[in-house]
Amino acid sequence: SKPIVAIVGRPNVGKSTLFNRIAQKRVSIVEDIPGVTRDRIYMDAEWLNHEFTMIDTGGIEIESTDKILTSMRHQAKLAIKEADVVVFVVDAKTGLTSADEEVAVILKNARKPILLAVNKVDSPKDELETFEFYNLGLGEPYAISAANALGLGDLLDQIVAAL
């Protein structure tokens, strides 16, 4: 079977948007209500002749706002268990949050490659916002804009290199 890439992160950071971009087919439903995702969570994808299966872990359950942390811990653990590579998505517009820090601790304790994607870097002037995410201790943050398809080639190069 194909290697598995899991996408984890807080509600509303753009996981499903990224998932749909990489899948190049609209399979997830992206809602404007934070935390609400009703989607097919598995999708096959391919980059430079490397095939893999992606999981949008945010689609596993409808997240009520009071349960965000519980849900994120669940996502992170599931991703660690199932995936060969974990893509941790954070939000440049919101900045670093305590929930991001908590998930980073869980991810760091797993012996799996973790890639840190800083989403919503919609223009070059937003790139400065990525630097604070070095504090998560997960290595280089990759600036992306899932909505505008920016930085995705570099991120995908890193994903397939880690498979």
Sequence ranges of the binding site: 9-16, 56-60, 119-122
Which of ligand GDP, Mg ion, none sits in contact with 126, Cβ below 5 to 8 A by type?
none
Q: Does 32 bind ligand GDP (CB under 6 A)?
A: yes
Q: Does 124 bind ligand GDP (CB under 6 A)?
A: no
Q: Does 58 bind Mg ion (CB under 5 A)?
A: yes
| Mask for 48-87, x = binds ligand GDP (CB under 6 A) | ----------x-----------------------------
Q: Does 11 bind ligand GDP (CB under 6 A)?
A: yes
Binding-site size, Mg ion (CB under 5 A): 4
Of 34-42, 74-82, 143-151, 152-160, the segment contacting Mg ion by CB under 5 A is 34-42
Partners of 38 in the beta sheet?
29
Please report, as a single letter, which amino acid is at residue 20.
N
User: Nearest Cα to 110, choosing from 42, 14, 8?
Assistant: 8
DSSP string over 11-75: TTSSHHHHHHHHHTS--EEE-SSTT-EEE--EEEEEETTEEEEEEEGGGSSPPPGGGHHHHHHHH
Q: For residues 13 and 136, which CB has a smaller minimum distance to ligand GDP in the complex?
A: 13
Identify whether the C-beta of residue 17 lies closer than 8 Å to the C-beta of residue 32. no
DSSP string over 57-108: GGGSSPPPGGGHHHHHHHHHHHHHHH-SEEEEEEETTT---HHHHHHHHHHH
Q: Which residues bind Mg ion (CB under 5 A)?
A: 15-16, 37, 58
Q: Which residues bind ligand GDP (CB under 6 A)?
A: 9, 11-17, 30-32, 37, 58, 119-120, 122, 145-148
